[in-house]
Structures are given as structure tokens and as C-alpha cells.
């Protein structure tokens, strides 16, 4: 039985607070933790399939053009080689994840250097990899391909454009103003598990084990790419070793494995090499951002301007939403916001953890620091006094607002000195030492979701949904929500995720996973509770369940009368999303040390306070924040995709040259969870947390670099050469 609930109004009943099991919100360890650390959790490439062949992708060595023909003879003659697949379905942009339906608007088949164009299938991975080097590709004539975002005329993304009042006039009339341009580099998702798929056919039925974030959407993409009905496909992704956006959509390894398996009549496994993942999976766009901010003599923002230039391939819909939180974070009556997109032939740009804020917030929050200095106001105070009462552009109320609490609590815990700040005040040996801070904001998303909960006759429960756990803790919070509502210890709840045969969840993306699937589970459990209450002849809110029994001692097994009780919860966000501006908020504080001679920066301590509604699990939530802050360190100091200016190819396509922060880069991090109940965010009063921890954190580090050394660096990442160049003499 499906129970549908559409949320049109805030849910202030906070029902979850009245339940008796007492497991929700606790710092419970992951229920999948043991399987993961003992290696028994199977990832996509680790499944065994009888007689499985291995496929390796061959990639283009031109930037833009047509593949006339591929001479396969030499490759096919090599030992172990079974087939070379160059089916055009492999290179359709449906296999690129971000292009929803739009067919390729560029007639050339190759539109970036490194794009997969064929799959070589052999008995072993090594044989296939070797043979892939022996394909002779006739590309025909190469087509002109701009690769520099600054060198083409960009397209304005008009839905992002805001023009309120007169910013120029406000800037000239202001007591203090900053007008500053920042640049950010592209990022890679760099998930630990490379993209991988094993495809096997049984007649017309296809089963694919893959590493994907959104099975509900991926199954449609794959059906479209292959030209077969969804009903013929089963997708399985029980464990996913990180995604960060790179596995939101299907990519070539999935399509190629399916086509090849059909063609050779054997299962085929395709595992991308690390270089393939870097080159052929979507990048975060680089950006150029101009910030214009001005205040009156009291420090109140009178003008707010944010222009950003980002890039993507021709025909792609995605434009890094840099201004996402700029629209509502701070007051300022005179506003000018504009997002522009340059069409260039670097690889596809798409979602990488916290698309939008991860790019926009670091620039905005460094500009706010410069404004605070210009106005002679403590940067924490400047932010506190410019928190708007309501959304300054849409006029909507906020669903809840924790920025002030986060700023205040984090400043106190960090030991922030609210006095007048001056750079270069502390030096120890070669090192300048200083502190900095920034606000965090990340829009709240919630999605339609379905999940089945079965209360079994034996008093255990089973959760079934195609929802994924990409390392975030979905398995665990599902067991906690169901355990809490049905009065079961979480180890009595079996959570079965990542199988497209189950009811469709929302997938993991945009930090919507927990609030969305949590709400579907809430709806299902409420319906089960109603049935149980009916059997007891009481009202559902009066049903107190704990450890498999009611408060008056009736066992659940008795109430179930030997039969399972199952409900599919179907949650849908309703009109409420139009009535409120909903966001997570936070604050970052960092202390850094900057080497006076080399410009090297070390983060010595960092702290973040975050408000994101109900905390479902204190341990997994904190882990998400720690991960986000770690990404902030990478954004601030080390992570940058570098493209060859001649052909746009990615130069640093591995983890040696693309430096994600490692243990030595990450100091002790502190996280404060500023718990609240956001009644408009979701029926479980929770908002997303996965991305919030990196939305602005890089600015706290940048501002600390300035406070320590006097170097105001306007280009991310703030590598030693840039810090040295910006240092005062
Ligand atoms: Mo996210 S970047 O939507 O996985």
C-alpha cells in the first residue's frame, strides 16, 4: 500500500521528538561500517560475473572534430582482445550526465580532448589497456575549438540576473566600498572509488552493477542511451565509494559495458583508470567573479553586486550556480547579480560537491573581509549586522535562520578576538600567524522520494528503496528513523538500498538525501503506526513504542498476528518550497601560519558551526562537516584543474598532480552542531548537511592568510607563489 504525503505547510508537530526509542540523533556508528572496514562491502567492480570480459575506454586525442573511422586491425590482433566497440551510442551526450535530454547541438562527435570514443574488450584489463593504445583513429579535419573562457563572448544566464535599485550610485555614495575580482580554478570530484560498471544480459534483460548516486534517474538515462525500456534494466549500487556529483549521472563506462556485453554475449566490466576519471568525468567550472559591496557609515550594506563568469561545453545546460546563496545571504537594497556562461571545449562542467556556493561563497566571504577592514568593523559584527529579516530579493520569509547563532557560537568556541584587526601582528620564526573567519550558506533542497518499510511478523523491520549511500550514512539514518518510529533497536532494522527494483528514492545529491528519504520513511512508518494504533484502539500519537513493545507491555509480534505489515511512503515537497527561502547556515574560523620566505600556508586549527535543522545522527553529521571543511582546505590552498591553453586538455589528471588535502594538510578540526527544528524544510525538520561544510570555508583560510601575512590573494587556490607575490615588502 502506497501512502502519499505532500508537504504544503510547515510541520510544527515535531513528532519525532516524542518517540520513545531514543535512537534518532544519537552518535550511532555506521551500520555498514564493519562491512566496509573488513572489505566485505562490495563495490561495483568487485562483483563476480561468470566469464566476465574486461573493457578499457579509448579516448580522443583531438579537441573537437569527427571520428571518420577507427582502424581496429592492429588492436584486434593482440593477445586476448575480443572486440573493439565504437557504437555511436557510446559518445552521445546522454552518456555525459548533465545534458538531460538535449541532443548534442554540436555536430562533431568529439567535443573535448580525452572524451571516450571506443571500448576495447579483452580477457584481462591489461590486455585491453594495451590494445586501446593500438587503435588508429582517423579524425578527419579538426574543427576550431575555443578553450579559454575569457576569450569568447559569454551567454548571460538571465534567470540569475537581478537588478534592484542603483548599485553604481550606492557605490559612489557609500561610506566604504570594495570592488574586487577573484578567480577560482576548476575542481575534480576525486572520489576514492573510480567509476566502474559490470553489465550482464539475460536475454533482453540487463543487469548493471555500477557506482552511481541517483538510480531513479540513472535508469532512465541508461534506457535512453541504449534505446530500450527501463523495465528491462536493473541497476545495483549498494556501496558507492564517494561521488560528490561525479556519479549523479551515468557516464561512458556504464553505457559501454552494456553495449559490449550485448555484442560479445558475455558480461563485461569497465573500470575507469584514475586518469579517465579526471579527464572524462565532469569538472567543476573555473570562475571569474567581481564583487561590489558597500556600506553606510554604520556598517549597513547599501549595495551588493556579484557578477560571475563560468564555462561549459556547447549544448550543455549546466551553468555553475555561483550566485545561489548571494541572492539571500546579506541585506543591501541596491543589488546587481549576473551569471555568464562561456562556451568552450574543456571537458563537461557539472556538479561537484556544493555546486554554486563552493565557488561563490569563498569569493564573497573574502570580499566581506576586505569590506570589514575598509569600514573598520569586526568581520563577525559586519556579518551579524547585515543578516536580512527576509529574502532581500524574493521578499520571502526564511524557513529558519541560524547564521547569527553559528557566528556567535563559533566565535566564542574559537576564542575570536573582537578588537580591531590588523595584519602581520604575530610572527614565530619564519612563520606569520593569523586568524580569519567566514560565513557558510548552502541552499536546502528536498526531493520526491519513495521507500517501503515492512514490519515483519517476527518483530524486525526491513527498509527497501533504490536510494544510495555514497559514504554519507544513509544506511544508518534509515535504521535510526525506522527504529525510532517503530520502537525497534536499530539492529532489528535491515536496510536494503541501491537496487532499482525497490521503490524510487531521491538519490544522493545536492545534500537532499537525508531529508528526502528520511521523509519517505517517516510517511511509511507513520502509516504503520496508524495501523498498529487502530489494532489497539488508540490514537496514533498516543502509541508509545520501545524495544518491540508498547508502553503497556503489548508485544509488536502480538499486534502483528503472524503477518507482515508493509507500507510504501511517498513523500513529495509541495507548495511550501514556494513560500520560504530555505538554507543551511554556518560559520568558519581558521588559524593559519604563513611562511615569510616560501609563502607556504599551513592550517593550524579550524572550526565550523553549522545549523541544518534536526541532526539525525551526530556522528555521521559531524563527519560530513569534517569532510566539507577538508574540501575547504583544498579549495583554499591546493586544488586546481590545469588545462593546456592550446587544446584544452587536462594536464594534471591524477592524484599526484591534483592535490587533495591529505592528513598532513588537515589539522584538528572542530565542529559545532547548532541543532534546530526547521518545520518548513521537511516533515522530519531536517535540512541537508553534506555540502554546507565547504561553502565559504576557503575564505576563512584566505582571510587568515591576509591577517597573518598581509598577503591579500585574489586567486584560488592560494598557492605559495601567489602568496609570495601578494606579500607586502
Ligand atoms: Mo552533489 S555535487 O549534487 O553530489
Residue 325 near residue 267, CB atoms below 8 Å:
no
Q: pLDDT above 70 covers what percent of the chain?
A: 98
Strand partners, 122: 54, 81
CA 609–ligand 1 middle distance (angstroms): 21
CB atoms within 10 A of CB 692: 29
245 pocket-lining for ligand 1 (C-beta < 6 Å) = yes
* 119 has a pLDDT exceeding 90: yes
Q: What is the DSSP string of 65-109?
A: B---EEE-HHHHTSTTEEEEE--GGGGSGGGGSS--SPPPSSS-S
Q: β-strand 431-443 against 583-595: which pairing, if any?
A: antiparallel
* 100 has a pLDDT exceeding 70: no
- Rounded CA-CA distance 234/207 in Å is 5
Q: β-strand 549-550 against 545-546: which pairing, if any?
A: antiparallel
- Average pLDDT value for residue range 718-725: 98
- Rounded CA-CA distance 271/195 in Å is 6
* 614 has a pLDDT exceeding 90: yes
Q: Using the atom order of ligand 1, give the atom closest to the CA of residue 509.
A: 3
The number of residues making up the chain comes to: 729
Domain 44-143+189-282 has CATH 3.40.109.10: no
- Rounded CA-CA distance 430/432 in Å is 7
Banded pLDDT at 104 (limits 50, 70, 90): very low
67 pocket-lining for ligand 1 (C-beta < 6 Å) = no
Q: What strands lie across the sheet with 583-595, from one edge to the other? A: 426-428, 431-443, 583-595, 601-611, 669-673
What's the confidence (pLDDT) of residue 384? 98
- Average pLDDT value for residue range 250-266: 97
What's the confidence (pLDDT) of residue 464? 98
- Rounded CA-CA distance 430/448 in Å is 55
Q: Report in angstroms the alpha-carbon separations of 187 from 63, 327, 443, 456, 639.
A: 20, 23, 20, 46, 6
Q: β-strand 205-210 against 233-236: which pairing, if any?
A: parallel
* 93 has a pLDDT exceeding 80: no
Q: β-strand 2-7 against 565-573: which pairing, if any?
A: parallel
CB atoms within 10 A of CB 204: 10
CB atoms within 10 A of CB 327: 21
pLDDT tens readout for residues 572-581: 999 888 999 9
Cell numbers 557566528 correspond to what residue? 407
CA 650–ligand 1 middle distance (angstroms): 22
What's the confidence (pLDDT) of residue 26? 98
Q: Report in angstroms the alpha-carbon separations of 635 from 49, 362, 631.
A: 40, 9, 6
Ligand 1 probe mutation, 359, 446, 510, most atoms within 8 A of CB: 510
- Rounded CA-CA distance 476/471 in Å is 11
Ligand 1 probe mutation, 509, 514, 516, 692, most atoms within 8 A of CB: 509
Q: Which residues contact 729 (CB under 8 A, 6 or more apart)?
A: none
510 pocket-lining for ligand 1 (C-beta < 6 Å) = yes
Q: How many H helices and E strands in the chain?
A: 17, 27
- Rounded CA-CA distance 356/509 in Å is 13
CA 245–ligand 1 middle distance (angstroms): 4
3-state class of 537 per DSSP? Answer: coil
3-state class of 609 per DSSP? Answer: strand
Nearest to 286 by CA among 320, 248, 249, 245: 320
- Rounded CA-CA distance 55/122 in Å is 6
Q: What is the DSSP string of 97-140?
A: SS--SPPPSSS-SB-STT-EEEEEEESSHHHHHHHHTT-EEE--
113 pocket-lining for ligand 1 (C-beta < 6 Å) = no
Q: Residue 332, Cα to own-chain centre: how many angstroms?
A: 29
CA 544–ligand 1 middle distance (angstroms): 38
Q: What is the DSSP string of 408-435?
A: HHHHHHHT---S---SS-EEETTEEEEE
| C-alpha grid cell, residue 475 | 544506511
- Per the annotation, the verdict on 357 as an active-site residue is no
Banded pLDDT at 315 (limits 50, 70, 90): confident
Q: What strands lie across the sheet with 268-271, from one edge to the other? A: 81-85, 116-122, 53-59, 268-271, 196-202, 205-210, 233-236
CA 691–ligand 1 middle distance (angstroms): 8
Q: Residue 578, Cα to own-chain centre: how many angstroms?
A: 23
243 pocket-lining for ligand 1 (C-beta < 6 Å) = yes
What's the confidence (pLDDT) of residue 89? 84
- Average pLDDT value for residue range 599-610: 98
362 pocket-lining for ligand 1 (C-beta < 6 Å) = no
Q: 390-444+582-729 in CATH: which number?
A: 3.30.365.10
Residue 398 near residue 581, CB atoms below 8 Å:
yes
CB atoms within 10 A of CB 228: 16
Banded pLDDT at 90 (limits 50, 70, 90): confident
Nearest to 361 by CA among 175, 58, 557, 587: 587
- Average pLDDT value for residue range 586-593: 98
Q: According to DSSP H, which parts of 227-318 are helical? A: 252-264, 274-280
Q: Report in angstroms the alpha-carbon separations of 726 from 71, 190, 191, 705.
A: 53, 30, 33, 10
- Rounded CA-CA distance 696/357 in Å is 7
Q: What is the DSSP string of 611-622?
A: E-BS-SBHHHHH
pLDDT tens readout for residues 426-440: 999 999 999 999 999
* 96 has a pLDDT exceeding 50: no
CA 560–ligand 1 middle distance (angstroms): 41
Strand partners, 271: 196
509 pocket-lining for ligand 1 (C-beta < 6 Å) = yes
| C-alpha grid cell, residue 578 | 514556494
Q: pLDDT above 90 covers what percent of the chain?
A: 93
- Average pLDDT value for residue range 325-340: 98
Q: Report in angstroms the alpha-carbon separations of 48 from 45, 120, 197, 200, 224.
A: 8, 20, 12, 11, 27
What's the confidence (pLDDT) of residue 91? 73
Domain extents in the chain: 2-41+446-578, 44-143+189-282, 390-444+582-729
- Average pLDDT value for residue range 566-572: 98
* 375 has a pLDDT exceeding 80: yes
Nearest to 671 by CA among 190, 89, 198, 27: 27
What's the confidence (pLDDT) of residue 106? 52
351 pocket-lining for ligand 1 (C-beta < 6 Å) = yes
Residue 162 near residue 336, CB atoms below 8 Å:
yes
- Rounded CA-CA distance 643/147 in Å is 9
* 102 has a pLDDT exceeding 50: no
* 105 has a pLDDT exceeding 60: no
Buried b / exposed e across 212-222, counting CB within 10 Å, b at 16+?
bbbbbbbbbbb
What's the confidence (pLDDT) of residue 141? 87
Q: 2-41+446-578 in CATH: which number?
A: 3.30.365.10
pLDDT tens readout for residues 444-478: 999 999 999 999 999 999 999 999 999 999 999 99
What's the confidence (pLDDT) of residue 661? 97
Ligand 1 probe mutation, 248, 350, 443, most atoms within 8 A of CB: 248
* 185 has a pLDDT exceeding 70: yes
What's the confidence (pLDDT) of residue 58? 97
Phi, psi torsion values for 254, nearest 5 degrees: -75, -50
321 pocket-lining for ligand 1 (C-beta < 6 Å) = no
Which of these ranges, 98-112, 190-204, 277-291, 599-613, has the smallest mean pLDDT?
Answer: 98-112
Q: Do domains 2-41+446-578 and 44-143+189-282 have the same CATH topology?
A: yes
Nearest to 497 by CA among 449, 441, 530: 449
Phi, psi torsion values for 199, nearest 5 degrees: -115, 135
CA 297–ligand 1 middle distance (angstroms): 41
Q: Using the atom order of ligand 1, give the atom closest to the CA of residue 508.
A: 4
pLDDT tens readout for residues 146-174: 999 999 999 999 999 999 999 999 999 99
Banded pLDDT at 97 (limits 50, 70, 90): very low
Q: Give CA torsion, residues 203, 204, 205, 208, to 10 deg.
A: 100
- Rounded CA-CA distance 239/467 in Å is 11
Tell me which of 5, 320, 357, 691 is the catalytic residue.
Answer: 691
Amino acid at each position: 500500500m502506497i501512502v502519499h504525503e505532500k508537504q504544503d505547510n510547515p510541520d510544527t508537530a515535531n513528532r519525532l521528538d516524542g518517540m520513545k526509542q531514543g535512537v534518532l540523533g544519537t552518535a550511532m556508528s555506521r551500520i555498514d561500517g564493519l562491512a566496509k572496514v573488513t572489505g566485505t562491502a562490495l563495490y561495483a567492480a568487485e562483483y563476480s560475473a561468470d566469464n566476465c570480459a574486461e573493457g578499457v575506454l579509448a579516448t580522443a586525442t583531438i579537441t573537437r572534430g569527427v571520428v571518420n573511422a577507427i582502424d581496429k586491425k592492429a588492436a584486434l590482433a593482440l593477445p586476448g582482445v575480443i572486440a573493439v566497440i565504437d557504437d555511436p551510442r557510446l559518445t552521445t551526450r546522454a552518456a555525459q550526465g548533465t545534458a538531460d535530454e538535449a541532443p548534442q547541438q554540436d555536430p562533431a562527435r568529439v567535443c573535448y580532448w580525452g572524451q571516450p570514443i571506443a571500448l576495447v574488450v579483452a580477457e584481462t584489463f591489461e590486455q585491453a589497456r594495451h590494445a586501446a593504445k593500438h587503435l588508429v583513429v582517423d579524425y578527419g579535419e579538426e574543427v576550431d575549438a575555443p578553450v579559454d573562457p575569457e576569450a569568447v563572448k559569454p551567454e548571460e544566464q538571465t534567470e540569475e540576473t537581478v537588478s534592484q535599485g542603483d548599485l553604481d550610485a550606492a557605490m559612489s555614495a557609500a561610506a566604504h566600498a570594495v570592488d574586487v575580482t577573484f578567480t577560482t580554478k576548476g575542481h575534480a570530484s576525486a572520489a576514492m572509488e573510480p567509476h566502474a560498471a559490470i553489465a550482464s544480459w539475460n536475454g533482453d534483460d540487463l543487469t548493471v552493477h555500477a557506482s552511481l548516486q541517483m538510480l531513479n534517474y540513472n535508469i532512465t538515462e541508461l534506457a535512453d542511451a541504449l534505446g530500450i525500456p527501463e523495465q528491462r534494466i536493473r541497476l545495483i549500487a549498494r556501496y558507492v565509494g564517494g561521488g560528490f556529483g561525479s556519479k549523479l549521472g551515468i557516464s561512458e563506462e556504464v553505457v559501454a559495458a552494456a553495449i559490449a556485453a550485448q555484442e560479445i554475449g558475455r558480461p563485461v566490466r569497465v573500470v575507469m583508470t584514475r586518469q579517465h576519471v579526471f579527464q572524462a568525468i565532469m569538472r567543476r567550472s573555473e570562475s571569474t567573479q567581481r564583487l561590489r559591496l558597500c556600506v553606510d557609515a554604520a556598517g549597513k550594506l547599501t549595495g551588493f553586486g556579484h557578477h560571475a563568469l563560468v564555462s561549459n561545453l556547447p549544448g550543455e545546460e549546466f551553468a555553475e550556480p555561483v550566485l545561489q546563496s548571494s541572492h539571500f545571504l546579506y541585506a543591501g537594497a541596491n543589488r546587481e547579480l549576473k551569471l555568464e556562461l562561456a562556451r568552450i571545449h574543456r571537458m563537461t562542467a557539472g556538479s561537484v560537491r556544493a555546486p554554486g556556493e563552493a565557488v561563490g561563497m569563498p569569493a564573497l566571504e573574502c570580499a566581506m573581509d576586505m569590506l570589514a577592514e575598509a569600514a573598520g568593523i569586526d568581520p563577525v559584527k559586519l556579518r551579524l549586522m547585515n543578516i536580512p529579516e527576509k529574502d532581500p530579493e524574493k521578499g520571502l520569509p526564511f524557513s529558519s535562520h541560524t547564521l547569527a547563532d553559528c557566528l556567535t557560537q563559533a566565535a566564542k568556541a574559537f576564542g575570536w578576538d573582537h578588537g580591531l584587526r590588523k595584519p602581520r601582528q604575530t610572527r614565530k620564526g619564519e612563520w606569520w600567524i593569523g586568524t580569519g573567519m567566514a560565513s557558510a550558506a548552502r541552499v536546502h533542497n528536498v526531493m520526491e522520494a519513495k521507500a517501503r518499510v515492512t514490519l515483519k511478523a517476527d518483530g524486525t523491520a526491513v527498509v527497501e528503496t533504490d536510494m544510495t549511500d555514497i559514504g554519507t550514512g544513509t544506511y544508518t539514518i534509515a535504521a535510526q528513523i525506522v527504529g525510532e518510529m517503530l520502537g525497534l533497536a536499530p539492529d532489528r532494522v535491515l536496510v536494503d538500498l541501491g537496487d532499482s527494483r525497490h521503490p524510487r528514492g531521491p538519490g544522493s545529491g545536492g545534500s537532499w538525501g537525508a531529508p528526502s528519504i528520511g521523509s519517505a520513511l517517516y510517511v511509511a512508518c507513520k502509516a504503520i503506526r496508524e495501523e498498529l494504533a487502530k489494532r489497539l484502539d488508540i490514537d496514533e500519537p498516543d502509541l508509545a513504542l520501545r524495544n518491540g513493545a508498547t508502553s503497556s507491555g503489548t508485544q509488536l509480534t502480538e499486534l502483528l498476528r503472524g503477518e507482515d505489515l508493509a507500507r510504501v511512503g511517498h513523500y513529495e515537497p509541495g507548495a511550501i518550497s514556494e513560500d520560504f527561502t530555505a538554507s543551511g547556515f554556518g560559520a568558519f574560523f581558521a588559524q593559519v601560519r604563513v611562511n615569510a620566505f616560501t609563502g607556504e600556508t599551513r592550517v593550524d586549527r579550524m572550526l565550523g558551526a553549522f545549523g541544518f535543522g534536526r541532526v539525525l545522527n551526530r556522528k555521521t553529521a559531524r563527519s560530513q562537516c569534517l569532510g566539507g571543511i577538508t574540501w575547504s582546505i583544498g579549495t583554499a590552498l591546493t586544488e586546481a584543474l590545469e588545462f593546456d591553453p592550446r587544446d584544452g586538455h587536462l594536464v594534471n589528471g591524477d592524484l599526484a598532480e591534483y592535490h587533495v588535502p591529505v592528513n598532513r594538510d588537515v589539522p584538528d578540526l572542530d565542529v559545532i552542531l547548532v541543532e534546530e527544528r526547521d518545520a518548513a524544510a521537511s516533515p522530519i525538520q531536517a535540512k541537508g548537511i553534506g555540502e554546507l561544510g565547504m561553502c565559504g570555508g576557503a575564505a576563512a583560510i584566505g582571510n587568515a592568510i591576509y591577517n597573518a601575512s598581509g598577503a591579500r590573494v585574489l586567486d584560488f587556490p592560494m598557492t605559495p607563489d601567489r602568496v609570495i607575490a601578494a606579500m607586502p615588502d
